Structure 1
Amino acid sequence: MAERFQREVKDRWYVKYNEMGFPAIQKGWVLPADRWRDFDPFILMAEDWFKKGTFPDHPHRGFQTVTYVVDGRLEHIDNAGGRDILEPGDVQYMNAGWAARHAEDGVEDDVAHTLQLWLNLPKDKKDSETIYQNVYGEEAPVVPIDGGSVKVFSGCVAGVTGPLDSIVPITLSELTLAKGAEFTLDLPENHNAFLYVLAGEIEAGVNKVNMKKHGVGTLSFNENGEGTSELTIKSQKRRTKVLIYSGAPIREEIVPHGPFVMNSMEEIKQAYDDFRQGKFGPPAV
Protein backbone atom coordinates (compact mmCIF):
# COMPACT_ATOMS: atom_id res chain seq x y z
CA MET A 1 0.00 0.00 0.00
CA ALA A 2 1.39 3.40 -1.02
CA GLU A 3 2.28 5.78 1.78
CA ARG A 4 -0.23 8.61 2.09
CA PHE A 5 0.70 12.26 1.66
CA GLN A 6 1.67 13.79 5.01
CA ARG A 7 0.58 17.38 5.51
CA GLU A 8 2.93 19.94 7.00
CA VAL A 9 2.29 23.51 8.12
CA LYS A 10 3.56 25.57 5.17
CA ASP A 11 3.04 29.05 6.61
CA ARG A 12 1.64 30.43 9.87
CA TRP A 13 0.75 33.75 11.47
CA TYR A 14 -1.38 35.23 14.22
CA VAL A 15 -4.42 37.36 13.54
CA LYS A 16 -4.00 41.06 14.29
CA TYR A 17 -7.12 42.93 15.39
CA ASN A 18 -8.29 46.48 14.89
CA GLU A 19 -10.93 48.33 16.89
CA MET A 20 -13.82 49.48 14.72
CA GLY A 21 -16.36 52.29 14.91
CA PHE A 22 -19.58 51.39 16.79
CA PRO A 23 -21.76 49.32 16.20
CA ALA A 24 -18.83 47.28 14.84
CA ILE A 25 -16.37 46.53 17.62
CA GLN A 26 -13.32 44.62 16.40
CA LYS A 27 -12.08 42.99 13.17
CA GLY A 28 -9.17 40.75 12.21
CA TRP A 29 -8.19 39.08 8.95
CA VAL A 30 -7.70 35.34 9.40
CA LEU A 31 -7.06 35.08 5.65
CA PRO A 32 -6.12 38.48 4.14
CA ALA A 33 -7.75 39.10 0.76
CA ASP A 34 -4.52 40.13 -0.99
CA ARG A 35 -3.25 36.52 -0.73
CA TRP A 36 -6.21 34.82 -2.40
CA ARG A 37 -3.96 33.06 -4.92
CA ASP A 38 -2.26 31.24 -2.03
CA PHE A 39 -5.61 30.29 -0.47
CA ASP A 40 -7.54 29.33 -3.65
CA PRO A 41 -10.46 28.38 -3.62
CA PHE A 42 -10.72 30.49 -0.45
CA ILE A 43 -10.63 34.26 -0.92
CA LEU A 44 -10.56 35.70 2.59
CA MET A 45 -11.75 35.03 6.13
CA ALA A 46 -12.73 37.78 8.55
CA GLU A 47 -13.17 37.50 12.30
CA ASP A 48 -15.66 40.08 13.54
CA TRP A 49 -17.18 41.25 16.79
CA PHE A 50 -20.21 43.47 16.19
CA LYS A 51 -23.59 44.63 17.45
CA LYS A 52 -26.90 45.16 15.70
CA GLY A 53 -26.66 47.64 12.81
CA THR A 54 -23.20 46.67 11.52
CA PHE A 55 -24.16 44.59 8.48
CA PRO A 56 -27.62 45.74 7.34
CA ASP A 57 -29.09 45.05 3.89
CA HIS A 58 -26.34 44.54 1.28
CA PRO A 59 -25.75 42.64 -2.01
CA HIS A 60 -23.33 39.91 -3.13
CA ARG A 61 -22.51 38.17 -6.40
CA GLY A 62 -20.02 35.59 -7.66
CA PHE A 63 -18.94 33.69 -4.54
CA GLN A 64 -20.05 31.77 -1.45
CA THR A 65 -19.80 32.44 2.29
CA VAL A 66 -19.42 30.06 5.22
CA THR A 67 -20.12 31.81 8.52
CA TYR A 68 -19.25 30.13 11.83
CA VAL A 69 -20.77 31.69 14.97
CA VAL A 70 -18.18 31.69 17.75
CA ASP A 71 -20.25 33.54 20.36
CA GLY A 72 -23.34 35.70 20.73
CA ARG A 73 -26.30 35.44 18.37
CA LEU A 74 -26.42 36.23 14.67
CA GLU A 75 -29.66 37.13 12.90
CA HIS A 76 -29.84 36.35 9.20
CA ILE A 77 -32.42 38.08 6.99
CA ASP A 78 -32.60 37.70 3.20
CA ASN A 79 -34.89 39.24 0.60
CA ALA A 80 -36.30 35.83 -0.38
CA GLY A 81 -38.12 35.74 2.96
CA GLY A 82 -35.52 33.84 4.98
CA ARG A 83 -35.03 34.83 8.60
CA ASP A 84 -33.33 32.94 11.41
CA ILE A 85 -31.12 33.32 14.47
CA LEU A 86 -27.87 31.37 14.67
CA GLU A 87 -26.17 30.64 17.99
CA PRO A 88 -22.62 29.62 19.04
CA GLY A 89 -21.46 26.56 17.10
CA ASP A 90 -23.92 27.09 14.24
CA VAL A 91 -22.83 27.63 10.63
CA GLN A 92 -24.54 29.39 7.75
CA TYR A 93 -23.73 28.70 4.10
CA MET A 94 -24.69 31.14 1.37
CA ASN A 95 -24.20 30.72 -2.35
CA ALA A 96 -24.53 34.32 -3.51
CA GLY A 97 -24.53 33.11 -7.10
CA TRP A 98 -25.90 35.72 -9.47
CA ALA A 99 -27.64 37.98 -6.91
CA ALA A 100 -27.90 37.71 -3.13
CA ARG A 101 -29.27 40.46 -0.92
CA HIS A 102 -29.26 39.92 2.82
CA ALA A 103 -28.48 41.32 6.27
CA GLU A 104 -26.39 39.81 9.07
CA ASP A 105 -26.76 41.39 12.48
CA GLY A 106 -26.34 40.96 16.19
CA VAL A 107 -29.51 40.22 18.16
CA GLU A 108 -30.80 42.71 20.76
CA ASP A 109 -27.78 43.71 22.89
CA ASP A 110 -25.64 40.69 22.00
CA VAL A 111 -22.13 41.07 20.65
CA ALA A 112 -21.98 38.64 17.73
CA HIS A 113 -18.57 37.03 17.24
CA THR A 114 -18.25 35.34 13.84
CA LEU A 115 -15.77 33.88 11.38
CA GLN A 116 -16.86 34.51 7.80
CA LEU A 117 -15.08 32.69 4.98
CA TRP A 118 -15.43 33.80 1.36
CA LEU A 119 -15.25 30.84 -1.03
CA ASN A 120 -14.82 31.40 -4.76
CA LEU A 121 -17.17 30.14 -7.46
CA PRO A 122 -15.80 29.01 -10.83
CA LYS A 123 -16.69 31.29 -13.75
CA ASP A 124 -19.38 28.93 -15.05
CA LYS A 125 -21.19 28.99 -11.68
CA LYS A 126 -21.09 32.72 -10.88
CA ASP A 127 -24.61 33.08 -12.30
CA SER A 128 -25.98 30.13 -10.28
CA GLU A 129 -29.07 30.21 -8.08
CA THR A 130 -28.85 32.01 -4.73
CA ILE A 131 -28.97 29.50 -1.85
CA TYR A 132 -28.94 29.79 1.94
CA GLN A 133 -28.44 26.83 4.28
CA ASN A 134 -28.31 26.92 8.07
CA VAL A 135 -26.40 24.10 9.77
CA TYR A 136 -27.17 24.06 13.48
CA GLY A 137 -24.44 22.69 15.71
CA GLU A 138 -26.51 19.70 16.84
CA GLU A 139 -27.11 18.66 13.21
CA ALA A 140 -23.42 18.16 12.44
CA PRO A 141 -22.27 14.60 13.19
CA VAL A 142 -19.77 14.20 16.04
CA VAL A 143 -17.19 11.42 16.10
CA PRO A 144 -15.82 10.59 19.57
CA ILE A 145 -12.04 10.06 19.55
CA ASP A 146 -9.48 9.31 22.24
CA GLY A 147 -9.27 12.53 24.26
CA GLY A 148 -11.77 14.54 22.29
CA SER A 149 -14.14 14.69 19.32
CA VAL A 150 -14.44 15.68 15.67
CA LYS A 151 -17.53 17.57 14.50
CA VAL A 152 -18.03 17.54 10.74
CA PHE A 153 -19.96 20.38 9.09
CA SER A 154 -19.02 19.71 5.47
CA GLY A 155 -17.39 16.97 3.41
CA CYS A 156 -16.31 13.51 4.53
CA VAL A 157 -14.00 13.52 7.55
CA ALA A 158 -13.42 10.84 10.20
CA GLY A 159 -15.78 8.48 8.40
CA VAL A 160 -18.84 10.75 8.47
CA THR A 161 -20.27 13.34 6.08
CA GLY A 162 -21.38 16.79 7.19
CA PRO A 163 -24.74 18.30 6.18
CA LEU A 164 -23.39 21.51 4.57
CA ASP A 165 -23.86 21.16 0.81
CA SER A 166 -21.73 23.74 -0.99
CA ILE A 167 -21.65 24.34 -4.75
CA VAL A 168 -17.87 23.95 -4.62
CA PRO A 169 -17.17 20.91 -2.40
CA ILE A 170 -15.20 21.68 0.76
CA THR A 171 -14.49 20.07 4.08
CA LEU A 172 -15.06 21.89 7.36
CA SER A 173 -14.44 20.15 10.66
CA GLU A 174 -14.08 21.23 14.28
CA LEU A 175 -11.55 19.30 16.35
CA THR A 176 -11.74 19.39 20.15
CA LEU A 177 -8.87 17.85 22.15
CA ALA A 178 -7.80 17.47 25.78
CA LYS A 179 -4.19 18.18 26.72
CA GLY A 180 -1.86 15.57 25.25
CA ALA A 181 -4.50 14.10 22.92
CA GLU A 182 -3.59 13.60 19.27
CA PHE A 183 -5.64 12.94 16.16
CA THR A 184 -4.91 12.46 12.46
CA LEU A 185 -7.50 13.83 10.03
CA ASP A 186 -7.91 12.43 6.54
CA LEU A 187 -8.30 15.17 3.93
CA PRO A 188 -8.43 14.94 0.11
CA GLU A 189 -4.82 15.10 -1.06
CA ASN A 190 -5.58 17.69 -3.77
CA HIS A 191 -7.36 20.11 -1.42
CA ASN A 192 -5.71 23.36 -0.42
CA ALA A 193 -6.28 23.65 3.33
CA PHE A 194 -5.80 25.82 6.39
CA LEU A 195 -6.51 25.61 10.10
CA TYR A 196 -7.44 28.17 12.73
CA VAL A 197 -6.87 27.72 16.47
CA LEU A 198 -10.02 28.84 18.30
CA ALA A 199 -8.74 27.88 21.76
CA GLY A 200 -5.76 26.23 23.42
CA GLU A 201 -2.48 25.31 21.77
CA ILE A 202 -1.45 22.68 19.20
CA GLU A 203 1.44 21.01 17.48
CA ALA A 204 0.40 20.52 13.84
CA GLY A 205 1.65 18.74 10.75
CA VAL A 206 4.46 16.32 10.12
CA ASN A 207 6.83 19.23 10.92
CA LYS A 208 5.17 19.67 14.36
CA VAL A 209 4.64 23.44 14.22
CA ASN A 210 3.46 25.03 17.46
CA MET A 211 0.40 27.28 17.24
CA LYS A 212 -1.62 29.02 19.93
CA LYS A 213 -5.05 30.69 20.02
CA HIS A 214 -5.62 33.06 17.07
CA GLY A 215 -2.99 31.14 15.08
CA VAL A 216 -3.57 30.43 11.37
CA GLY A 217 -1.68 27.75 9.45
CA THR A 218 -1.75 26.99 5.72
CA LEU A 219 -0.97 23.39 4.83
CA SER A 220 1.01 21.62 2.14
CA PHE A 221 -0.99 19.66 -0.44
CA ASN A 222 -0.55 17.69 -3.66
CA GLU A 223 -2.71 19.37 -6.29
CA ASN A 224 -2.41 16.47 -8.72
CA GLY A 225 -3.03 13.80 -6.10
CA GLU A 226 -6.07 11.54 -6.24
CA GLY A 227 -5.96 9.97 -2.79
CA THR A 228 -6.27 11.14 0.80
CA SER A 229 -3.69 12.89 2.96
CA GLU A 230 -3.03 12.92 6.68
CA LEU A 231 -2.94 15.93 8.99
CA THR A 232 -1.82 15.19 12.55
CA ILE A 233 -2.74 17.60 15.35
CA LYS A 234 -1.68 17.23 18.99
CA SER A 235 -3.07 19.35 21.81
CA GLN A 236 -0.64 21.09 24.14
CA LYS A 237 -3.30 22.52 26.46
CA ARG A 238 -6.68 21.51 27.80
CA ARG A 239 -9.79 22.61 25.93
CA THR A 240 -8.08 22.97 22.59
CA LYS A 241 -10.40 23.68 19.67
CA VAL A 242 -9.34 23.93 16.02
CA LEU A 243 -11.25 24.55 12.78
CA ILE A 244 -9.89 22.85 9.63
CA TYR A 245 -11.02 23.95 6.14
CA SER A 246 -10.08 22.39 2.79
CA GLY A 247 -11.10 22.77 -0.86
CA ALA A 248 -9.78 22.07 -4.37
CA PRO A 249 -8.23 25.12 -6.09
CA ILE A 250 -10.20 26.65 -8.98
CA ARG A 251 -7.21 28.36 -10.64
CA GLU A 252 -9.06 31.25 -12.27
CA GLU A 253 -8.16 34.93 -12.04
CA ILE A 254 -10.66 36.89 -9.96
CA VAL A 255 -11.40 40.50 -9.06
CA PRO A 256 -12.65 40.83 -5.45
CA HIS A 257 -14.19 44.31 -5.22
CA GLY A 258 -16.53 45.46 -2.45
CA PRO A 259 -19.36 42.92 -2.04
CA PHE A 260 -18.70 41.20 -5.38
CA VAL A 261 -16.16 38.64 -6.65
CA MET A 262 -16.03 38.33 -10.44
CA ASN A 263 -13.47 37.44 -13.13
CA SER A 264 -13.01 40.94 -14.58
CA MET A 265 -13.50 44.60 -13.68
CA GLU A 266 -16.15 44.83 -16.39
CA GLU A 267 -18.17 42.17 -14.59
CA ILE A 268 -17.75 44.07 -11.31
CA LYS A 269 -19.13 47.24 -12.95
CA GLN A 270 -22.04 45.21 -14.34
CA ALA A 271 -22.82 43.89 -10.85
CA TYR A 272 -22.96 47.45 -9.46
CA ASP A 273 -25.16 48.54 -12.38
CA ASP A 274 -27.50 45.59 -11.87
CA PHE A 275 -27.80 46.36 -8.16
CA ARG A 276 -28.56 50.05 -8.81
CA GLN A 277 -31.20 49.04 -11.36
CA GLY A 278 -32.97 46.85 -8.79
CA LYS A 279 -32.09 43.50 -10.36
CA PHE A 280 -31.08 42.08 -6.96
CA GLY A 281 -34.65 42.49 -5.74
CA PRO A 282 -36.08 44.36 -2.74
CA PRO A 283 -34.13 45.13 0.45
CA ALA A 284 -33.66 42.46 3.13
CA VAL A 285 -35.53 43.87 6.11
Structure 2
Amino acid sequence: MSSKPTFNREVREFWYPKYSKNGYPHVQQGIILNPEKNEEFSPFILMAEDWYKRGIFSDHPHRGFQTVTYVVDGRLEHIDNAGGYSLLDAGDVQYMNAGWAARHAEEAFDDDLIHTLQVWLNLPKSLKQTETSYQNIRVEDAPVVNIDGGTVRVYSGEIAGATGPMKSLVPITMSEITLREGTDYTHVLPENHNSFLYMLAGEMEFGESKTKIAKTGAATLSFNEEGTVSNRSELKIKAVSKSKVLIYSGVPIREEIAFGGPFVMNSQEEIREAFRDLQRGVFGPSAVKK
Protein backbone atom coordinates (compact mmCIF):
# COMPACT_ATOMS: atom_id res chain seq x y z
CA MET A 1 0.00 0.00 0.00
CA SER A 2 1.11 3.59 -0.62
CA SER A 3 2.78 5.98 1.82
CA LYS A 4 -0.04 8.56 1.59
CA PRO A 5 -1.61 9.69 4.91
CA THR A 6 -3.61 6.87 6.45
CA PHE A 7 -7.41 7.02 6.57
CA ASN A 8 -8.58 6.28 10.11
CA ARG A 9 -11.79 4.30 10.29
CA GLU A 10 -14.57 4.83 12.81
CA VAL A 11 -17.80 3.00 13.54
CA ARG A 12 -20.41 4.56 11.26
CA GLU A 13 -23.41 2.74 12.73
CA PHE A 14 -23.84 -0.23 15.06
CA TRP A 15 -26.79 -2.35 16.13
CA TYR A 16 -27.84 -5.61 17.73
CA PRO A 17 -30.07 -7.83 15.57
CA LYS A 18 -33.35 -9.23 16.80
CA TYR A 19 -33.70 -13.00 16.69
CA SER A 20 -36.85 -14.88 15.77
CA LYS A 21 -37.39 -18.17 17.59
CA ASN A 22 -39.02 -20.25 14.90
CA GLY A 23 -39.18 -23.57 16.72
CA TYR A 24 -38.12 -26.93 15.30
CA PRO A 25 -36.48 -27.42 12.79
CA HIS A 26 -35.50 -23.78 11.99
CA VAL A 27 -34.75 -23.05 15.61
CA GLN A 28 -33.62 -19.42 15.44
CA GLN A 29 -32.73 -16.77 12.86
CA GLY A 30 -31.36 -13.25 12.92
CA ILE A 31 -30.87 -10.86 9.99
CA ILE A 32 -27.53 -9.16 10.62
CA LEU A 33 -27.46 -7.13 7.38
CA ASN A 34 -30.96 -6.19 6.24
CA PRO A 35 -31.21 -6.38 2.42
CA GLU A 36 -33.51 -3.34 2.45
CA LYS A 37 -30.37 -1.32 3.28
CA ASN A 38 -28.18 -3.02 0.68
CA GLU A 39 -26.92 0.29 -0.76
CA GLU A 40 -25.23 0.99 2.58
CA PHE A 41 -23.57 -2.43 2.64
CA SER A 42 -22.53 -2.80 -1.03
CA PRO A 43 -20.97 -5.03 -2.32
CA PHE A 44 -22.62 -7.05 0.47
CA ILE A 45 -26.38 -7.56 0.24
CA LEU A 46 -27.42 -9.34 3.41
CA MET A 47 -26.12 -11.45 6.26
CA ALA A 48 -28.23 -14.07 8.02
CA GLU A 49 -27.46 -16.01 11.17
CA ASP A 50 -29.26 -19.34 11.48
CA TRP A 51 -29.58 -22.26 13.87
CA TYR A 52 -31.33 -25.20 12.22
CA LYS A 53 -31.81 -28.91 11.96
CA ARG A 54 -31.93 -30.97 8.80
CA GLY A 55 -34.58 -30.12 6.22
CA ILE A 56 -34.49 -26.31 6.20
CA PHE A 57 -32.18 -25.51 3.29
CA SER A 58 -32.67 -28.52 1.02
CA ASP A 59 -32.53 -28.28 -2.80
CA HIS A 60 -32.91 -24.66 -4.01
CA PRO A 61 -31.66 -22.44 -6.88
CA HIS A 62 -29.70 -19.16 -7.05
CA ARG A 63 -28.61 -16.71 -9.74
CA GLY A 64 -26.74 -13.42 -9.89
CA PHE A 65 -24.70 -13.27 -6.68
CA GLN A 66 -22.25 -15.10 -4.41
CA THR A 67 -22.54 -16.54 -0.91
CA VAL A 68 -19.94 -16.80 1.85
CA THR A 69 -21.01 -19.22 4.59
CA TYR A 70 -19.11 -19.38 7.88
CA VAL A 71 -19.80 -22.40 10.09
CA VAL A 72 -19.96 -21.29 13.72
CA ASP A 73 -20.85 -24.72 15.10
CA GLY A 74 -22.07 -28.11 13.92
CA ARG A 75 -21.49 -29.82 10.59
CA LEU A 76 -22.77 -28.38 7.32
CA GLU A 77 -23.53 -30.82 4.52
CA HIS A 78 -23.17 -29.35 1.03
CA ILE A 79 -24.77 -31.02 -2.00
CA ASP A 80 -24.94 -29.52 -5.49
CA ASN A 81 -26.48 -30.80 -8.70
CA ALA A 82 -23.12 -30.92 -10.47
CA GLY A 83 -22.16 -33.85 -8.24
CA GLY A 84 -20.41 -31.89 -5.51
CA TYR A 85 -20.54 -33.10 -1.92
CA SER A 86 -18.71 -31.97 1.20
CA LEU A 87 -18.96 -31.65 4.97
CA LEU A 88 -17.83 -28.44 6.64
CA ASP A 89 -16.99 -28.12 10.34
CA ALA A 90 -16.77 -25.22 12.78
CA GLY A 91 -14.47 -22.50 11.43
CA ASP A 92 -14.76 -23.70 7.83
CA VAL A 93 -16.12 -21.38 5.13
CA GLN A 94 -17.82 -22.17 1.84
CA TYR A 95 -17.72 -19.72 -1.04
CA MET A 96 -20.26 -20.13 -3.83
CA ASN A 97 -20.49 -18.20 -7.06
CA ALA A 98 -24.10 -18.80 -8.08
CA GLY A 99 -23.40 -17.11 -11.39
CA TRP A 100 -26.03 -17.95 -13.97
CA ALA A 101 -27.57 -21.11 -12.47
CA ALA A 102 -26.70 -22.69 -9.12
CA ARG A 103 -28.76 -25.43 -7.55
CA HIS A 104 -27.62 -26.80 -4.20
CA ALA A 105 -28.57 -27.85 -0.68
CA GLU A 106 -27.08 -26.70 2.64
CA GLU A 107 -28.19 -29.13 5.32
CA ALA A 108 -27.39 -29.87 8.94
CA PHE A 109 -25.55 -33.17 8.90
CA ASP A 110 -27.16 -36.14 10.61
CA ASP A 111 -28.80 -34.96 13.86
CA ASP A 112 -26.62 -31.87 14.31
CA LEU A 113 -27.96 -28.45 15.23
CA ILE A 114 -26.03 -26.29 12.78
CA HIS A 115 -25.15 -22.64 13.42
CA THR A 116 -24.08 -20.59 10.39
CA LEU A 117 -23.49 -17.04 9.24
CA GLN A 118 -24.16 -16.49 5.54
CA VAL A 119 -23.33 -13.35 3.57
CA TRP A 120 -24.81 -12.61 0.16
CA LEU A 121 -22.20 -10.84 -1.97
CA ASN A 122 -23.37 -9.05 -5.10
CA LEU A 123 -22.03 -9.63 -8.61
CA PRO A 124 -21.78 -6.77 -11.11
CA LYS A 125 -23.98 -7.10 -14.17
CA SER A 126 -20.98 -8.19 -16.24
CA LEU A 127 -20.49 -11.29 -14.03
CA LYS A 128 -24.06 -12.39 -13.31
CA GLN A 129 -23.97 -14.99 -16.11
CA THR A 130 -20.67 -16.58 -15.10
CA GLU A 131 -20.26 -20.30 -14.46
CA THR A 132 -21.37 -21.66 -11.11
CA SER A 133 -18.54 -22.68 -8.77
CA TYR A 134 -17.95 -23.73 -5.16
CA GLN A 135 -14.88 -23.52 -2.93
CA ASN A 136 -14.40 -24.90 0.56
CA ILE A 137 -11.95 -23.03 2.77
CA ARG A 138 -10.98 -25.31 5.66
CA VAL A 139 -10.13 -23.61 8.92
CA GLU A 140 -6.69 -25.23 8.88
CA ASP A 141 -5.98 -23.85 5.39
CA ALA A 142 -6.75 -20.21 6.25
CA PRO A 143 -3.42 -18.66 7.32
CA VAL A 144 -3.12 -17.45 10.89
CA VAL A 145 -1.04 -14.40 11.80
CA ASN A 146 0.12 -14.32 15.41
CA ILE A 147 0.00 -10.87 16.97
CA ASP A 148 0.69 -9.66 20.50
CA GLY A 149 -2.25 -10.94 22.50
CA GLY A 150 -4.11 -12.73 19.76
CA THR A 151 -4.44 -14.05 16.23
CA VAL A 152 -5.78 -12.97 12.84
CA ARG A 153 -7.13 -15.75 10.63
CA VAL A 154 -7.35 -14.69 6.97
CA TYR A 155 -10.00 -16.31 4.78
CA SER A 156 -9.94 -13.84 1.90
CA GLY A 157 -7.80 -10.97 0.67
CA GLU A 158 -4.46 -9.74 1.96
CA ILE A 159 -4.54 -8.96 5.67
CA ALA A 160 -1.67 -8.55 8.15
CA GLY A 161 0.85 -9.83 5.59
CA ALA A 162 -1.08 -13.03 4.81
CA THR A 163 -3.29 -13.88 1.84
CA GLY A 164 -6.46 -15.89 2.29
CA PRO A 165 -7.28 -18.79 -0.05
CA MET A 166 -10.79 -17.65 -1.08
CA LYS A 167 -11.05 -17.00 -4.82
CA SER A 168 -13.98 -14.61 -4.96
CA LEU A 169 -15.01 -13.15 -8.32
CA VAL A 170 -15.58 -9.88 -6.49
CA PRO A 171 -12.41 -9.38 -4.40
CA ILE A 172 -13.14 -9.06 -0.69
CA THR A 173 -11.33 -9.38 2.60
CA MET A 174 -12.64 -11.65 5.33
CA SER A 175 -10.79 -12.15 8.60
CA GLU A 176 -11.45 -13.55 12.06
CA ILE A 177 -9.68 -11.66 14.85
CA THR A 178 -9.29 -13.21 18.31
CA LEU A 179 -7.85 -11.08 21.12
CA ARG A 180 -7.12 -11.55 24.80
CA GLU A 181 -8.52 -9.07 27.30
CA GLY A 182 -6.75 -5.73 27.15
CA THR A 183 -5.09 -6.36 23.77
CA ASP A 184 -4.74 -3.51 21.26
CA TYR A 185 -4.66 -4.25 17.53
CA THR A 186 -4.80 -2.10 14.39
CA HIS A 187 -6.64 -3.70 11.47
CA VAL A 188 -5.51 -2.46 8.04
CA LEU A 189 -7.84 -2.43 5.00
CA PRO A 190 -7.82 -0.72 1.58
CA GLU A 191 -9.32 2.73 2.14
CA ASN A 192 -11.96 2.37 -0.63
CA HIS A 193 -13.39 -0.87 0.79
CA ASN A 194 -16.81 -0.67 2.40
CA SER A 195 -16.60 -2.77 5.56
CA PHE A 196 -18.72 -4.28 8.30
CA LEU A 197 -18.04 -6.38 11.38
CA TYR A 198 -19.88 -8.92 13.48
CA MET A 199 -18.97 -9.80 17.07
CA LEU A 200 -18.76 -13.55 17.69
CA ALA A 201 -17.71 -13.32 21.34
CA GLY A 202 -16.74 -10.90 24.08
CA GLU A 203 -16.62 -7.10 23.77
CA MET A 204 -14.31 -4.75 21.87
CA GLU A 205 -13.74 -1.02 21.43
CA PHE A 206 -13.41 0.31 17.88
CA GLY A 207 -11.85 3.50 16.46
CA GLU A 208 -10.64 6.64 18.17
CA SER A 209 -14.21 6.97 19.51
CA LYS A 210 -13.71 3.68 21.41
CA THR A 211 -17.21 2.55 20.49
CA LYS A 212 -17.98 -0.56 22.52
CA ILE A 213 -19.66 -3.48 20.75
CA ALA A 214 -20.37 -6.81 22.40
CA LYS A 215 -21.32 -10.32 21.25
CA THR A 216 -23.97 -10.37 18.44
CA GLY A 217 -23.32 -6.69 17.73
CA ALA A 218 -22.74 -5.59 14.14
CA ALA A 219 -21.38 -2.36 12.71
CA THR A 220 -20.54 -0.59 9.47
CA LEU A 221 -17.30 1.38 9.26
CA SER A 222 -16.38 4.70 7.67
CA PHE A 223 -14.38 4.49 4.43
CA ASN A 224 -13.15 6.66 1.57
CA GLU A 225 -15.10 5.59 -1.52
CA GLU A 226 -13.12 8.07 -3.65
CA GLY A 227 -9.86 6.49 -2.52
CA THR A 228 -7.93 3.63 -4.06
CA VAL A 229 -7.31 0.01 -3.19
CA SER A 230 -3.59 0.74 -2.77
CA ASN A 231 -4.10 3.32 -0.02
CA ARG A 232 -4.37 1.96 3.51
CA SER A 233 -6.91 2.64 6.19
CA GLU A 234 -6.66 1.66 9.85
CA LEU A 235 -9.22 0.55 12.40
CA LYS A 236 -8.04 0.64 15.99
CA ILE A 237 -9.38 -2.23 18.10
CA LYS A 238 -9.08 -2.97 21.82
CA ALA A 239 -10.44 -6.09 23.51
CA VAL A 240 -12.46 -5.18 26.61
CA SER A 241 -12.69 -8.91 27.36
CA LYS A 242 -11.56 -12.06 25.59
CA SER A 243 -13.14 -11.47 22.18
CA LYS A 244 -13.61 -12.64 18.62
CA VAL A 245 -14.83 -10.60 15.63
CA LEU A 246 -15.37 -11.19 11.92
CA ILE A 247 -14.51 -8.28 9.60
CA TYR A 248 -15.49 -8.18 5.91
CA SER A 249 -14.68 -5.54 3.28
CA GLY A 250 -15.09 -4.93 -0.45
CA VAL A 251 -15.42 -2.23 -3.09
CA PRO A 252 -19.06 -1.09 -3.53
CA ILE A 253 -20.96 -2.07 -6.69
CA ARG A 254 -23.09 0.91 -7.61
CA GLU A 255 -25.70 -0.75 -9.83
CA GLU A 256 -29.44 -1.22 -9.56
CA ILE A 257 -30.46 -4.35 -7.64
CA ALA A 258 -33.64 -6.38 -8.13
CA PHE A 259 -34.60 -9.12 -5.65
CA GLY A 260 -36.79 -12.14 -6.28
CA GLY A 261 -36.63 -14.97 -3.78
CA PRO A 262 -33.31 -16.78 -4.39
CA PHE A 263 -32.28 -14.48 -7.27
CA VAL A 264 -30.45 -11.12 -7.30
CA MET A 265 -30.38 -9.36 -10.65
CA ASN A 266 -30.45 -5.80 -12.04
CA SER A 267 -34.10 -5.63 -13.12
CA GLN A 268 -37.45 -7.27 -12.38
CA GLU A 269 -37.56 -8.58 -15.95
CA GLU A 270 -34.31 -10.47 -15.26
CA ILE A 271 -35.90 -11.88 -12.09
CA ARG A 272 -38.91 -13.07 -14.11
CA GLU A 273 -36.54 -14.61 -16.63
CA ALA A 274 -34.76 -16.50 -13.83
CA PHE A 275 -38.07 -17.98 -12.63
CA ARG A 276 -38.97 -18.94 -16.22
CA ASP A 277 -35.58 -20.60 -16.61
CA LEU A 278 -36.12 -22.53 -13.39
CA GLN A 279 -39.50 -23.78 -14.63
CA ARG A 280 -37.96 -24.74 -18.00
CA GLY A 281 -35.28 -26.84 -16.32
CA VAL A 282 -32.36 -24.56 -17.17
CA PHE A 283 -31.02 -24.93 -13.60
CA GLY A 284 -30.74 -28.68 -14.07
CA PRO A 285 -31.83 -31.55 -11.81
CA SER A 286 -32.42 -31.36 -8.07
CA ALA A 287 -29.46 -31.29 -5.68
CA VAL A 288 -29.85 -34.54 -3.76
CA LYS A 289 -27.37 -36.86 -2.11
CA LYS A 290 -26.54 -39.79 -4.38
Letter in 2 for 1:273: R
**Displacement of 1:206:** 2.4
Find the aligned partners of 1:131 and 1:184 in 2 and give their Cα distance.
34
Structure 2 gaps of 5+ residues are none
Letter in 2 for 1:128: T
Find the aligned partners of 1:21 and 1:94 in 2 and give their Cα distance.
28
Q: Give 1:65-214 correspondences, 5 Å limit.
A: 65-214=67-216
Q: Is the counterpart of residue 265 in structure 1 residue 268 in structure 2?
A: yes
Find the aligned partners of 2:91 and 2:219 in 1 and give their Cα distance.
21
**Displacement of 1:2:** 3.4
Partner residue, 2:287:
284
Deviation string, structure 1 residues 9-32 (Cα, Å, up to 9, x no partner): 000000110011421110001101
What secondary structure, in the 3-state scheme, does the structure 2 residue paired with 1:234 have?
strand
The number of residue pairs the alignment matches comes to 284
Cα root mean square deviation, aligned: 0.7
Find the aligned partners of 1:284 and 1:29 in 2 and give their Cα distance.
26
Partner residue, 2:235:
231
Find the aligned partners of 1:195 and 1:142 in 2 and give their Cα distance.
19
Partner residue, 1:243:
246
Partner residue, 1:220:
222
Letter in 2 for 1:231: L
What secondary structure, in the 3-state scheme, does the structure 2 residue paired with 1:56 have?
coil
User: Does the 8 A contact of 2:192 with 2:251 survive in 1?
Assistant: yes
Deviation string, structure 1 residues 239-273 (Cα, Å, up to 9, x no partner): x0000000000100101220000000000000000
**Displacement of 1:3:** 2.2
Find the aligned partners of 2:272 and 2:239 in 1 and give their Cα distance.
47
Structure 1 gaps of 5+ residues are none
> Structure 2 length as normaliser, TM-score?
0.97
Moved over 2 A (4+): none
User: Does the 8 A contact of 2:259 with 2:268 survive in 1?
Assistant: no
Deviation string, structure 1 residues 118-177 (Cα, Å, up to 9, x no partner): 000000100001010000000000000000000000000000100001000000000000
Partner residue, 1:45:
47
Partner residue, 1:252:
255
